[in-house]
Structure 1
Amino acid sequence: MSEFDRAVESEVGAVAASWTGRVDGTSGEYLRWHQVVEPYSATAIPGACVFVGFASDEGVRRNRGRTGAVAGPGALRGALASMALPTPLRAYDAGDVIVTGTELEAGQEALANTVSAILDGGHFPIVLGGGHEIAYGTYLGLARSELRRPGARLGILNLDAHFDLRSDPVPSSGTPFRQIAECERADTWQYAVIGISQPSNTRALFDTADRLGVRYLLDDDCGTANLAAVLKFVDDFLAAVDLVYLTIDLDVLPAAVAPGVSAPAAYGVPLETVQAVTDRLAASGKLAICDVAELNPSLDIDNRTARTAARLLHRIATRRPAGIG
């Protein structure tokens, strides 16, 4: 057994309890997520969705946010478990990467290694956070995988109220995309953000975004009346890249929809718009990986935020075509 398989096996008991729920039958027309998710191993059949958790809120703590996102992966699995599948599919769970104490950087490296192994096995990783420091680990895993072939232009689409481009010397949940920018050349990637809240981002952050060529839409311009323009923004983004990493920070949603986050939105982007964007990306054939960040179950109300996030992941997983490109 490889070191990776041993690490995954050690997590099986920890995550299995989350994949439980109602059983109406065992044939295809009755299936729910908890009935199809299996422990992940190197022998997993290619083409499946593979869940991996990133149990961390050290980045949120460093960014002076409200901690609690460390419990996000379990809550997301629990919210997804009983959702009914439109058709039978294969899915696996690779367990959690757990950030111990202040060891964020080591955790991001461990996440990167796990993500690369999943991608190189021919699967679609869905990474469950955790704070938005998840993004740097997810990126490293994709960048180091065989999928990131030479010349392939990477597109990162962030659904977020914040740029997360801080120049702080200590990495946190507010720095991942600046860290990524330092790893890439201007001609090798495109970073785009939907849902930027002007009051939540200083002028310095807007200047940094402009300097790096970041394309963005303000939350003011993402209402349902603006949906056609938002989808045009997404289509233009997709046309300019070869490989897409989608990252969803749940604080992009209105606080009434997503109260269980470190920084709830005073305005936010309607769920209808967010769902339309994720549907477009899932159908594009270019989506290689996605993650969801900032779910804080201790601040949630009736699992509202977890259920919303799970619905988005459910649609992405069940609507994406097989393969990339």
Structure 2
Amino acid sequence: MSIDMGVWAGRTDPEDGELGMRWHQKIRPADQANDEGIMLLGFACDEGVSRNKGRTGAFDAPVAIRKVLANLAWHHTEPVYDGGDICCSDGNLELAQHRLGEDVCRALRQKHKVMVLGGGHEVAWGTFQGIGNYLIQKQHVNEQQNQDAFSSAKAPSTPKVGIINFDAHFDLRNPPGGQQSEQGSSGTPFHQIARFCQLQGWPFHYACLGLSRTSNTQALYQKADTLSVLYKDDVELKQQNLESVQEELQAFIDQSDYLYLTIDMDVFPAAVAPGVSAPAARGVPVEIIENLLSQILSSKTQNGDSKVLVADIAEYNPRFDIDSQTARLAARLVWTIARALR
């Protein structure tokens, strides 16, 4: 794990005092994380995209997003920390995902909300390992407290994690080595998550919004139906359908104890987000996704905390960006999510 605070640089407006602050003036390295806040983690990796026969270049995304984010105006009330990058430069994707999971789990234990900057969408399997391990540890603590309080074992509660993925693709592919293979790619993370949930006896609660039917085979739609996935094609996500989509999404959120939010930048039109591995011929308008994001980010647990534990950004590819257009959109999404989480 390396933390390069040098990327956090930009304009300063000292004449405006504290109200003139920007992100680069406020963000702190993770070793200064004394208070609960937002923990930013980077996943510099496109090994999964390479294995999935896509266009590589997402390795450089975390730094590129930070550089744009650095100059955005500070409108936050709680601290943001940079936990550095996990880098996968040796082809060992599985180790990189494991290490990301460890960092996500550690940040959650420290009571931070977590944002991960990918990287290909293989980031999702690393992120979810962290969420899963955190909740397993939390389960064990709760069981021990119950036993101490009542001197008898209680049936452990099963956490229900709602996974909401804005994406042109299901990313539910079976690994090349078979369904139980550990060798994944950017196309397999939600298959791997479904298997994790199965092994834990947890429900697999997955919503995929913004699918391009031309980019997902019949086999993937059939698999999604088998797994009871809530999905919406890009053609369904339009203003006249928004209310009914929000109703279905709210029912999904209400059935979730926690939420994991992941945004694949290829869900947006190529004219808006050209810097991705697989540009969308149609995509979903930004304002539709912003409406749905607002709904997701406003969801609360019983104690008033945000249901969203972790959010990540995937598949931004600086190699194919135009005038940092996609980086600006990714940074704005990070800004919006971070402000809502805290």
TM-score, scaled to structure 2: 0.87
How far off is 1:55 after superposition? Answer: 0.3
Following TM superposition, by how much is the alpha carbon of 1:88 offset from its aligned partner in structure 2, in angstroms?
A: 4.2
- CA-based RMSD of the aligned residues comes to 1.5
What's the secondary structure of 1:193's corresponding residue? strand
Q: Deviations over 1:82-113 (max 9, x none)?
A: 11122443110010000122110000001001
| Contact in 1 for aligned 2:41/2:84 (Cα 8 Å) | yes
Q: Which moved more, 1:72-81 or 1:221-230?
A: 221-230
Which residue of the partner structure matches residue 161 of structure 1?
168
TM-score with structure 1 length normalisation?
A: 0.91
* CA displacement at 1:187 relative to structure 2: 5.1
Q: 2:307 aligns with which of 271, 286, 307?
A: 286
Quote the Cα distance in structure 1 between the aligned partners of 2:76 and 2:88. 35
Distance in 1 (CA, whole Å) between partners of 2:106 and 2:172 is 28
Q: Is the 8 A contact 2:113 2:341 kept in 1?
A: no
Q: CA-to-partner distance for each residue in 1:158-177, whole Å, 9 max, x for gaps?
A: 00000001012231000000
Q: 2:86 aligned to 83, 92, 97, which one?
A: 97
Match for residue 182 of structure 1?
195
Offset, 1:320:
2.3
What SS does the aligned partner of 2:9 have? coil
CA distance in 2, matches of 1:80, 1:230: 31
The answer on 1:265 being equivalent to 2:286 is: no
Report how far residue 233 of structure 1 moved: 2.6
Match of residue 65, structure 2, among 76, 86, 92: 76
Q: Out of 251, 256, 265, which is 1:241 matched to?
A: 256
* 1:119, distance to aligned residue in structure 2 (A): 0.6
User: Match of 2:36, SS?
Assistant: coil
**More displaced 10-residue stretch of structure 1: 164-173 or 202-211:** 164-173
Asked whether the 8 Å contact 2:44–2:87 carries over to 1, the reply is yes
Relative to structure 1, the CA distance from residue 144 to residue 87 in structure 2 (aligned partners, 3 Å threshold; closer, same or farther) is: closer
Q: Identical aligned pairs, as a percentage?
A: 43
Q: Provide the secondary structure at the position in 1 that maps to 2:210.
A: strand
* Letter in structure 2 aligned against 1:134: V
The residue aligned with 2:340 is 319
Unaligned regions of 5+ residues in structure 2, if any? 140-156, 178-182, 300-305
Paired residues of 2:159 and 2:202 also in contact (CA < 8 A): no
The answer as to whether partners of 1:278 and 1:312 remain within 8 angstroms in 2 is no
Q: Residue 158 of structure 1 contacts residue 246 of structure 1 at CA under 8 Å; is this kept in 2?
A: yes
Asked whether the 8 Å contact 1:28–1:88 carries over to 2, the reply is no
SS of the residue aligned with 1:145? helix
**Are the structure 2 counterparts of residues 87 and 29 from structure 1 closer, same or farther at C-alpha, using a change threshold of 3 Å?**
farther
Residue in structure 1 matched with residue 20 of structure 2 by the alignment: 30
Contact 1:31–1:88 (Cα < 8 Å) also in 2:
no
Which stretch shows the higher mean deviation, 103-112 or 182-191?
182-191
Unaligned 5+ runs, structure 1? 1-6
Cα distance in structure 2, aligned partners of 1:37 and 1:79? 14
Contact 2:204 2:227 in 1 (8 A): no
Query: Does residue 172 of structure 1 match 2:179?
Result: no
Q: Return the alpha-carbon distance in structure 2 between the equivalents of residues 294 and 23 of structure 1.
A: 31
Aligned partners of 2:35 and 2:79 also within 8 Å: no
Note if 1:128 corresponds to 2:117. Answer: yes
Is 1:20 equivalent to 2:3 in the alignment?
no
Match of 2:43, SS state, is strand
Letter in 1 for 2:44: A
* Greater Rg by CA: 2
1:127–1:292 Cα contact (<8 Å) kept? yes
Per the TM alignment, residue 148 of structure 1 is displaced from its structure 2 partner at its CA by 5.5
What is the CA–CA distance in structure 2 between the aligned matches of 1:125 and 1:86, rounded to whole Å?
18
